[in-house]
């Protein structure tokens, strides 16, 4: 009996101590909240006011898993992410009972089915397409769907390795992003597009200027098939790349020419390019030094500025033209960007792409300049729309991030990515096993290609690049759909 009483006394003492510590903690927080002057809620409602911040932080989590409907979330909803996840896992994406997608949302594309589509044995896979016919080493690109720019630094070592291996398995290209060429890009032996950002990481001299010697070194690598001059990016037009210092380890610092822990801030534009003549001069220089196709990546602001670009090409001759133009929309993504630029600047790709395609065709450059579309095109319908609008190729970054296992935690800029994709914390990178994720990357690419071919078949053409704007209808504010070629008429040369 005495022993039992001693245990009760001991437990009671523990309870008193714990309660006392909690009370002391609450008292300390009460005093601290009253005395601080930075937060009015905590000052007026000590202790209790702290829960507002806790619930605000948790709101994102609860919306994603419990409250948001399948088609509600941004930037990508659950239905979009689930499609990528099933495709990456090699699972069937067939559904039952009907679509959950509202067909009354303005801008929704509806593909026009043909009453007599080609038979299965009349359906052809997409043929490879030549880029840069005037270059010493033109590129015969095998696939219309490829991986957009993601720098080593913005994403992790195992993520780059998985993308490289998966791209090789799927027969698609991988864009290096503006962070330079790492050994991990070469891991899988896939075709690479070397992106030259405004800081010229990997191809600059000691003074930060573009180096012909470095360009030759990169061009000597057989896997590097093209060069892309990054003028602007959809998520941050008018501002260069931002790599937080917390993500700059020794490996990344060596590749980029930075100090460990130093922020990798790229200039907001190429300082030696002040007009379109300067841009064409740089394109010509890189193409001459490397012998490989050279294009640009940009965001559209107005038709007038792009018309001036094509007028400059016309004045200088078609040989001066870029070999490709990558159009990124204002809805494009990135690991870090100011919110006003992310939200408010740059024309959406669904408006910009038809505009630039028409200008290219108007100036007689359809066979000279290949059009590449990016920005939030992650599902088969998105890719099929872009091809019908006039794109020759489509690239995606975030689609492949989902294939790697991204859960849209929105921590890309904080080095705390829980899936190991955008972090350089070794303990978090362990979660991303490249040998497993490479298969998901390849599966996703193959599934997109197959499903886009299925859409092309349904509209009555034998392969995706034969789709035209007349094959797509766009939902209008009154709920009715109108053929895309009525809203964005294709340029037709006069007879």
User: pLDDT (tens digit, 9 = 90+) per residue, 224-244?
Assistant: 999 999 998 665 566 666 777
CA distances from 277 to 281, 282, 284, 321 (A): 6, 9, 11, 11
How confident is the model over 248-257, as pLDDT tens digits? 888 787 778 7
- For domain 120-487, give its CATH number from 3.20.20.70, 3.20.20.100, 2.60.40.1580, 3.30.565.10: 3.20.20.70
How far is C-alpha 209 from the geometric centre of its chain's CA atoms? 27
CA angle 331, 337, 341 (to 5 degrees): 55
User: What is the chain's mean pLDDT, rounded?
Assistant: 86
More confident residue, 180 or 130: 130
Torsion of CA 201, 206, 208, 213, to 10 degrees: -70
- Write out the two tokens for 30: 């009460």
Q: Which carries the bigger pLDDT value, residue 342 or residue 227?
A: 227
Give the tens place of pLDDT for each residue, 59-84. Answer: 555 655 555 555 555 567 677 777 78
pLDDT reading at 295 higher than 90:
yes
- For 167, half-sphere exposure in the C-beta direction (CA atoms, 13 angstrom radius) is 35
Q: Tell me the average pLDDT across 407-424.
A: 80
Give the pLDDT confidence score for residue 172 in this predicted structure.
97
Mean pLDDT of 140-165: 93
Provide the percentage of residues in the chain whose pLDDT is more than 90.
Answer: 49
- pLDDT value, residue 196: 95
Sequential DSSP letters for 397-415: SHHHHHHHT----S-TTTT
pLDDT digits (tens, 9 = 90+) for 298-333: 999 899 999 999 999 999 999 999 999 999 986 766
Domain ranges of the chain: 2-67, 120-487
Beta bridge partners of 173: 191
C-alpha to C-alpha distance for 282 and 274, rounded to whole angstroms: 11
């Amino acid at each position: 009996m005495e022993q039992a009483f001693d245990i009760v006394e001991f437990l009671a003492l523990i309870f008193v101590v714990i309660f006392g510590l909690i009370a002391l903690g609450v008292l300390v927080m009460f005093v601290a909240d009253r005395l601080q002057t930075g937060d009015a809620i905590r000052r007026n409602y000590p202790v209790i006011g702290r829960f507002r911040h806790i619930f605000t932080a948790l709101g994102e989590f609860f919306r994603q898993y419990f409250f948001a409907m399948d088609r509600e979330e941004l930037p990508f909803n659950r239905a979009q992410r689930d499609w990528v996840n099933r495709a990456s896992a090699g699972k069937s994406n067939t559904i039952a009972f009907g679509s959950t997608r509202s067909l009354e949302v303005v801008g929704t594309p509806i593909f026009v089915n043909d009453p007599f589509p080609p038979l299965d044995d009349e359906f052809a896979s997409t043929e490879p397409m030549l880029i840069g016919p005037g270059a010493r080493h033109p590129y015969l690109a095998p696939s219309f769907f490829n991986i957009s720019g993601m720098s080593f630094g913005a994403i992790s070592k195992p993520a780059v390795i998985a993308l490289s291996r998966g791209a090789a398995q799927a027969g698609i290209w991988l864009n290096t992003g503006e962070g330079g060429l790492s050994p991990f890009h070469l891991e899988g032996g896939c075709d690479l597009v070397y992106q030259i950002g405004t800081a010229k990481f990997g191809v600059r001299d000691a003074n930060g200027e573009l180096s012909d010697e470095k360009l030759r070194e990169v061009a000597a690598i057989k896997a590097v098939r093209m060069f892309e001059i990054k003028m602007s990016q959809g998520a941050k037009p008018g501002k260069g790349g931002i790599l937080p210092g917390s993500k700059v380890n020794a490996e990344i610092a060596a590749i980029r020419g930075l100090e460990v822990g130093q922020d990798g801030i790229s200039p907001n534009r190429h300082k030696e390019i002040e007009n379109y003549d300067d841009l064409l001069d740089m394109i010509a220089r890189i193409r001459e030094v490397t012998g490989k196709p050279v294009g640009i990546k940009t965001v559209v602001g107005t038709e007038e500025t792009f018309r001036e670009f094509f007028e400059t090409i016309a004045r200088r001759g078609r040989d001066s033209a870029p070999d490709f133009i990558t159009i990124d929309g204002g809805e494009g993504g990135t690991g870090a960007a100011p919110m006003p630029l992310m939200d408010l600047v740059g024309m959406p790709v669904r408006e910009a792409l038809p505009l630039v395609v028409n200008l290219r065709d108007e100036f007689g450059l359809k066979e000279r300049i290949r059009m590449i579309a990016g920005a939030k095109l992650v599902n088969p319908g998105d890719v099929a729309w872009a091809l019908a609008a006039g794109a020759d190729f489509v690239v995606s970054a975030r689609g492949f991030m989902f294939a790697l296992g991204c859960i849209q935690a929105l921590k890309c800029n904080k080095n705390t990515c829980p899936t190991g994709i955008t972090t350089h914390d070794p303990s978090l990178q362990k979660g991303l096993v490249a040998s497993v994720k490479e298969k998901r990357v390849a599966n996703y690419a193959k599934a997109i290609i197959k499903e886009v071919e299925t859409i092309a078949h349904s509209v009555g053409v034998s392969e995706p690049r034969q789709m035209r704007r007349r094959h797509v209808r766009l939902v209008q504010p009154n709920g009715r759909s109108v053929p895309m070629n009525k809203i964005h008429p294709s340029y037709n040369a006069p007879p």
